[in-house]
A = this chain, B = another copy of it.
Amino acid sequence: MTRNRQFTLARRPHGMPVPEDFALIETPVPEPGPGGTVVRNVYVSLDPAIRGWLDDKPSYMPPVEIGAPVRASTIGRISASNDPAYAVGDWVMGLNGIEDYSLGGAGGFQMKIDPTLVPSVTNYMSIMGGAGLTAYFGLLRVGKPEAGQTVLVSGAAGSVGSLAGQIAKIHGCRAIGIAGGAEKGRRLIEAYGYDAAIDYRGKSVEQLAAEIASAAPDGVDVVFENVGGDVLDAALLNLNHGARVALCGMISEYNSAAGPVGARNLFQLIVKSASMSGFIATDFMAEIGQAYADLGRWLAEGRLVSHEHIDEGIENAFPAFLRLFEGTNQGKMILKIGED
């Protein structure tokens, strides 16, 4: 291949993204600079956070520029290298773009990965990747659950939520998951070991709060929040004294053209002397060794499972990305754009 297909941002989405917000273009394959590398991307991690990078708003990363490839974590193989640390063919993961070829490390991060250590190299995007680290640090370092406490996870069937629930169970907690639809509810119980599953669809804040209360008769000690809006408001009505809300994401808010719904039951933080803390996994990079050791052991012991939903072809980047907001992905959303 001599052309680099790139899925670029054509204009900033207003509310839910539409196909016209993006373009599929072809550019020359980049050449590595002195000491640099080029990666042939094979798998692209499609994450809700990408939606935030498309807006021109202050965030923890600069917005994707108009005309630039949409930023995403990828797994690929070194295709050209001027860096003795990387040989052609090495597997790497990094923060790159939705494109066939990326300049290695241009997104600020590249590391080698060993596919022989995991059942599938794509596990480096789920259990052994950003999803696993986010669930691990968010639950254990931000949520700080103790054995016997109750952990409520929203977006509980998602890539991060499903792992947060499983790690809560490993830590001896009662885990309650909120997700959309009966199929996901079954998956929460049967695949991820949640003690109870709640379907949020078509329910008011009051109804959801009552269902949470029924599933958590002793109240909720830790909320691992991925959804925001009504789901967060219902969770806030069930906090125990001193509860911790680990605010990981608010996917229900990202595409609202009218602006976010917000949290209207914040007063419960005062009533319960509770806290809500935002975080991203990179806050805890000093502990990444311990996290990978734990996640790798639990994976090897069969105590962590992850479902991966792999669509194929860079030309399907838009519908694959949209699945995250439609809730039609069944597990970690991955786009395969090259050969293994």
Contact = CB atoms under 8 A, between A and B. Distances in A.
Interface of A: 52, 58-60, 228, 237, 247-250, 253, 259-280, 283
Contacts of A265: 260, 262
Contacts of A248: 270
A263 B266 contact: yes
B264 A271 contact: no
Nearest to A249: B270
A232 to B, nearest CB: 8
A280 B273 contact: yes
Contact of A277 (B237, B264, B268, B274): B274
Contacts of A271: 58-60, 278
Contacts of A263: 262-263, 266
Contact of A262 (B58, B247, B262): B262
A160 B250 CA distance: 32
A226 to B, nearest CB: 11
Given A261-B262, A262-B261, A253 B277 contact: no
A278 B273 contact: yes
Contact of A270 (B237, B268, B279): B279
A59 B270 CA distance: 9
Contacts of A52: 267
A284 B275 CA distance: 15
26 contacts: A52-B267, A60-B270, A60-B271, A60-B272, A228-B267, A247-B266, A247-B269, A250-B266, A250-B267, A250-B270, A253-B267, A259-B264, A260-B267, A261-B262, A261-B264, A262-B264, A262-B266, A263-B263, A266-B278, A267-B278, A269-B277, A270-B279, A270-B280, A273-B277, A273-B278, A273-B283
